[in-house]
Amino acid sequence: MKQTPELDLVQSKMQPGVLTLKGFLGSDDRKLADILVADQQSFSRLGITPLQAAERLQQLADLGADLMEEEILVEQRYRIKVRDDRGKIPSPWGDGLFEKGDVDLIDNSTGETLKWNRLTLRLMSVHGFCGGVDSEYRLDPEKLMRILDLKPEAQS
Amino acid sequence: MSPIITAIVVISALTGGLTILLLIAEFFFANYGEVTVDVNAGEKTLKVKGGANLLSTLASQKLFLPSGCGGRGSCGTCKCRVVDGGGPLLPTETPYLSDEERKTSVRLACQIKVKNDIKIQVPEELLSIKEFETVIEKITDFTHDIKGIRFKLPEGETIKFKAGQFANLFSKPYDEVREETSRAYSISSAPKDNKAIELIIRYVPNGMVTTYVFKHLKEGDKVKLIGPFGEFFLRDTDREIVCIAGGSGLAPIRSIILDMIDRGISNRKATFFFGAVTKKDLYYVEEFKEIEKNHPWFRFVPALSRDDSDHPYSKGLITDVVASNYSDLKNMEAYLCGSPGMIDACEKVLTSKGMPKTQIFYDKFS
């Protein structure tokens, strides 16, 4: 994948202080095209898809919605808390505005955590962007597969 | 000097020279001169220097369109109808416009360059929006993540707003945030208190403006505010009122209740359900209890969803508390302010008790 001028523009909007305080990349200094390719390869190797992961995360988020930030235990395993905040956040790809608010998940069986919101789900499912390697909202394919018990699509 | 270094130096010099030439050319040749912006068919005629975008051009003339991103083309809120002179629709605008808006010449003001005479239409109420260079008079820590801030307007200036409306607060560049940024917050003070504005702000983790407010602002600082904006305000009817809020959503409800007192509206019963998780998340309780004591038409019902301690408040989710208080809501109207999740849950409860959706008004934090 080439780092096109369009991806340059998207990556410029992912920097800290442009659309969000900390940006989308953490300390990841790779070109956006390289980040996308690396995660695409991880998903392929694992046999799962970004859409599959996003749908599972959305399903879990829906279970915690309407509880006004109360934590809920789901499937006797996940502690989920959905926080809503005022306002909307734009996609760095310029393809929409997404309501703010984070979902925090703790896997009680391992203590591992995941954090996402409506925008980061969109970035993963539509653009294949999972966040810079150490960014706060990183949705690492392997971690997703492990925590969410995702099965390779052919086997599911 | 090696040929490679020589080539780099020559190419850099040429590029630099061309850039300077382009800048000079733009200065001399891309001068659009004075152009006219006609607002609402002659209601206002602005003579402006061409070349800037419509949003900033209008702001320079003290006509403020709502903008959540400060003109970066990323929020899609600075919409206005461009009747003539706006040029073709740009690809940067299309994601933010519906088919209906495109058909009716609605455009994003931040994306249109004012190069020639232009005719626009904006909602009438926007013409009364003003910019204020305020001074922070007082900051109050209400809870661990909610602050109340009182902004004093410049000497001699006043603000006219409807209780329930909001203002845009601007943060200055700080740390890695290199540009001025603005966000909308509901006004919590009464319209009668028109020499100042009070806002209630909840900290948003990693929020660009709330981080500025919580980590950098202090009493005495100067802060830019623009307002008022918004369609959330008390409707002029005789219906009994149900107000529901959570967290910083208390702000516009407080303004509405204080305004009812100031305007002597005592013929409408009003109940304010304020939802919080634990006692430490409640604030303004004493003030609302005092109002309840002095005004028989007002009732205050704080509710805690997860506090097993001994307390005098209602217990449970605010939706359940509201539901348990009413059997038929068809002749009442509701004013809600809070997160989208809370609003949706409340709307379900209210409609299930017979309240028509047309009698439910909300500020959905979006």
The tokens describing B343, both together, are 């609003």
B47 three-class SS? strand
**Looking at chain B from residue 227 to 256, which residues have their Cβ under 8 Å from any Cβ of chain A?**
246, 248
Q: What's the sign of the alpha-carbon dihedral B272, B277, B279, B281? A: negative
pLDDT at residue B29 above 80?
A: no
Query: Tens digits of per-residue pLDDT, B46-82?
Result: 999 998 999 999 999 989 888 766 677 777 889 999 9
pLDDT at residue B3 above 80?
A: no
Per-residue pLDDT band for B10 (boundaries 50, 70, 90) equals confident
Are both B34-126 and B129-229 of the same fold?
no
Question: What pLDDT score was predicted for residue B146?
Answer: 96
pLDDT at residue B1 above 70?
A: no
Q: Where are the domains of chain B?
A: 34-126, 129-229, 240-363
Say whether B345 and A68 touch across the interface (CB within 8 A): yes
pLDDT at residue B295 above 90?
A: yes
Per-residue pLDDT band for B206 (boundaries 50, 70, 90) equals confident
B365 to chain A, any CB pair closer than 8 A? The answer is yes
Say whether A84 and B208 touch across the interface (CB within 8 A): no
* Domain assignment of residue A43, given as a range: 5-148
Residues of A in contact with B275 (CB under 8 A): 68
Say whether B206 and A85 touch across the interface (CB within 8 A): no
Judge whether A25 lies within some domain: yes
Question: What pLDDT score was predicted for residue B234?
Answer: 96
Q: How far apart are CA B180 and CA B64, in angstroms?
A: 16
Using CB atoms, which residue from B95, B205, B277 is nearest to A94?
Answer: B95
* Cα B259 from chain centre: 20
B159-168: average pLDDT:
94
Average pLDDT over chain B, rounded to whole? 91
Helices A5-13 and A32-46 pack at an angle, to 10 degrees, of: 90
Q: How far apart are CA A32 and CA A15, in angstroms?
A: 11
Of residues B27 and A55, more confidently modeled:
A55
In the block, tokens 């390779």 appear at: A152
Of residues B38 and B67, more confidently modeled:
B38
B314 to chain A, any CB pair closer than 8 A? The answer is no
**How many Å lie between the alpha carbon of A72 and the closest alpha carbon of chain B?**
12
Residues A46, A145: contact at Cβ < 8 Å?
A: yes
Q: Which of A35-39, A44-48, B220-224, B304-308 has the lowest mean pLDDT?
A: B304-308
Say whether B204 and A86 touch across the interface (CB within 8 A): yes
Count chain A–chain B contacts defined by CB atoms under 8 A: 99
Using alpha carbons, select from B300, B299, B356 the residue that is nearest to residue B329. Answer: B356
Residues of B in contact with A22 (CB under 8 A): 206
Evaluate whether the domain defined by B240-363 bears CATH number 1.10.10.60. Answer: no
Judge whether A75 lies within some domain: yes
The CATH number that domain B34-126 falls under is 3.10.20.30
Q: Cα dist. B39→B55, B125, B221 in Å? A: 13, 13, 35
- ipTM, two decimals, is 0.81
Average pLDDT over chain A, rounded to whole? 92
Using CB atoms, which residue from A15, A66, A86 is nearest to B344?
Answer: A66
A95 to chain B, any CB pair closer than 8 A? The answer is yes
Q: What's the angle, vertex CA B131, arms to CA B126 and CA B137, rounded to 5?
A: 130
Rg over CA atoms, chain B:
25
pLDDT at residue B230 above 90?
A: no
**How many Å lie between the alpha carbon of A13 and the closest alpha carbon of chain B?**
10
Judge whether A63 lies within some domain: yes
B258-271: average pLDDT:
97
Q: How far apart are CA B305 and CA B277, in angstroms?
A: 5
Q: Cα dist. B275→A14, A70, B70, B269, B321 in Å? A: 36, 12, 33, 20, 9
The tokens describing B24, both together, are 């000079």
Q: How far apart are CA B261 and CA B243, in angstroms?
A: 15
**Looking at chain B from residue 278 to 307, which residues have their Cβ under 8 Å from any Cβ of chain A?**
305-306
Query: Tens digits of per-residue pLDDT, B106-157?
Result: 999 999 999 999 999 998 888 889 999 999 999 999 999 999 999 999 999 9
Closest-CA residue of A relative to B97 is: A96
Using CB atoms, which residue from B68, B177, B317 is nearest to A68?
Answer: B317
Query: Beta B298-304 vs B314-315: how paired, if at all?
Result: parallel
- The B146-152 sheet, strands edge to edge: B181-186, B166-171, B222-229, B130-141, B146-152, B196-202
A128 to chain B, any CB pair closer than 8 A? The answer is no
Question: What pLDDT score was predicted for residue B27?
Answer: 58
A61-88: average pLDDT:
85
Evaluate whether the domain defined by B129-229 bears CATH number 2.40.30.10. Answer: yes
Interface test with B, best of A6, A10, A68 (most B CBs within 10 A): A68
ω into B252 cis (within 30 of 0): no
Question: What pLDDT score was predicted for residue B364?
Answer: 64
Residues of B in contact with A15 (CB under 8 A): 176
Question: What pLDDT score was predicted for residue B292?
Answer: 98
The tokens describing B266, both together, are 């005592």
Question: What pLDDT score was predicted for residue B113?
Answer: 92
Closest-CA residue of A relative to B307 is: A70
Give the CB-side neighbour count of residue B356, counting CA atoms within 13 A: 4
A69 to chain B, any CB pair closer than 8 A? The answer is yes
Judge whether A153 lies within some domain: no
Question: What pLDDT score was predicted for residue B351?
Answer: 97
Say whether A90 and B317 touch across the interface (CB within 8 A): no
Question: What pLDDT score was predicted for residue B8?
Answer: 66
pLDDT at residue B349 above 90?
A: yes
Question: Considering its fold, how many domains does chain A have in total?
Answer: 1
Q: Which of A64-78, B123-137, B206-220, B320-334 has the lowest mean pLDDT?
A: A64-78
Say whether A68 and B341 touch across the interface (CB within 8 A): yes
Other beta carbons within 10 Å of A97:
21
**How many Å lie between the alpha carbon of A42 and the closest alpha carbon of chain B?**
28
pLDDT at residue A90 above 90?
A: no
Say whether B208 and A101 touch across the interface (CB within 8 A): no
Burial class of residue B330 in the structure, from the number of CB atoms within 10 Å of its CB (0-12 exposed, 13-18 middle, 19+ buried): exposed
